[in-house]
Amino acid sequence: MSNTVFIFPGQGSQKVGMGKDFYDNSALAKEMIETASERVGFDFKHLLFEENENLEQTQYTQPAILLVSLIAHRLFTEHSTVAPIALLGHSLGEFSALSATGAMDYLDAVELVYRRGLLMKQACEGINAGMMALLGLDDESVEAITCKERESGKKVWAANYNGDGQIVIAGNKDDLASLESVFKDSGAKKAVLLAMSVASHCPLLISAQAPLETYLDQWMKDAFVAPIISNVTASAYQAKTEAKHLLSEQLVSPVKYKQSILHVEDSVDMFIEFGGSVLKGLNKRITQKPTHSIVDMKSLEEVLALF
C-alpha cells in the first residue's frame, strides 16, 4: 500500500457548481448538504449550485469549500481502506483536515469555519484590507521588501508561501497597491491585487484569535487518527492542545504550504486532494510526487482505481 497524504484546498478554489455531481449521484452527499444547511441556517444548494454573490464572501466561502471537501473525503473513505500517513490543508483546508482526521464532527466544522469567516470579516471592517499575488520573486526578496516597508509605516506582510516564485501578501490595500512598482522593479513578473476584502494570515486579524480558540475548545475532540501538518510550523501535530494554539496562530501567521509539502515529500508516494484541484496545480511546482484530485464521481472512481 502506498504512503499517501490527504490534502484539502482553501479559499480561491470555490466555483459555482462545486459538489453538484456528488449531490446528484450520492445519497450521502445529499444528506450532508441538507443537514449542513439546517445547521447554519442557509441553503448550501443555492450557495453551491446557483449564481450568487455570497460564494465570494469569506463567511460563506469557507463552509462551502470545507463541506465539499469533506463530502469528497467521506465518499472516498466509504469505498477505500487507505489510511493517510498525514493530512494537511491550505489555510481553511487545515480545518477540513482536522475534521477528516476525526478531531471534529463535520457539522461542527461547518459552523466553526462559518464563524471563523465572520470573525475575519469583522476584524477587517473599516481598515481597507486586501491581498496581492506576486509571481517571480523568491521568498527572501519578498520578506526583505515587506519588512523594510513595515519599518516605514506600511502594513504589508507575506501571507501565503504557495510555491517557488509564487507568494501572496496581505495588509492594507492602499499600501499593497503602492508597492506594485517596487515589487516589479525587484524582479516580480506580476503583482496583482486580489478581489478580497480580508487580509488573511497577518496581524490585522489579531482580534479574531481569542474567539476562534473558544470555538475550537468547544467543538474539537482529542481524537486524531493521523497527524496534521501545521500551516504555521510545517511540522506535525496530533493533539487538541496543539491544534487550538496553532489554528489560532494561523490567523496571523503566513501559510507555509510549500514548506509543508516539502516536509512530507520524502515519505510520501502520492497526494490526494479532496474537493478541488488548486493544490494539484501548486504541487506541480513543488514536488515530483503525483497529486490526484477528487472533484466529482468520475474522479472519485479514478482515484479509487489506483489502489
Average pLDDT, the chain: 95
Shared domain for 32 and 110, answered yes or no, is yes
**Measured in Å, how far apart are the chain's first and last C-alpha atoms?**
8
State pTM to two decimals. Answer: 0.95
Shared domain for 216 and 284, answered yes or no, is yes
Cβ-contact 303, 36 below 8 angstroms: no
Instruction: Give the domain-ending residue among 180, 198, 216.
Output: 198
- Strand-pair category, 86-89 with 166-172: unpaired
Instruction: Give the domain range for residue 140.
Output: 129-198
**Active-site residue (options: 26, 91, 99, 293):** 91
CA pair distance 67, 18, nearest whole angstrom: 10
Q: Give the pLDDT confidence of 143-176 residue by residue, as tens digits.
A: 999 999 999 999 999 999 999 999 999 999 999 9
CA pair distance 93, 252, nearest whole angstrom: 16
Give me the number of domains the chain comprises.
2
Residue-level pLDDT at 270: 97
Q: Is 201 a catalytic residue?
A: yes
Cβ-contact 237, 260 below 8 angstroms: no
pLDDT bracket for residue 89 (50, 70, 90):
very high
Q: Amino acid identity of 125?
A: E
Instruction: Give the domain-ending residue among 170, 198, 226.
Output: 198
> What CATH number does the domain containing 167 carry?
3.30.70.250
Q: Is 267 a catalytic residue?
A: no
Shared domain for 117 and 212, answered yes or no, is yes
> In angstroms, how far is CA 203 from the centroid of its own chain?
18
Shared domain for 133 and 120, answered yes or no, is no
Instruction: Give the domain-ending residue among 149, 175, 198.
Output: 198
Cβ-contact 66, 95 below 8 angstroms: yes
Shared domain for 250 and 271, answered yes or no, is yes
> In angstroms, how far is CA 181 from the centroid of its own chain?
29
**Active-site residue (options: 73, 90, 201, 263):** 201
| Low-confidence winner among 17-31, 167-181, 183-197, 272-286 (lowest mean pLDDT) | 183-197
> What CATH number does the domain containing 18 carry?
3.40.366.10
> In angstroms, how far is CA 78 from the centroid of its own chain?
24
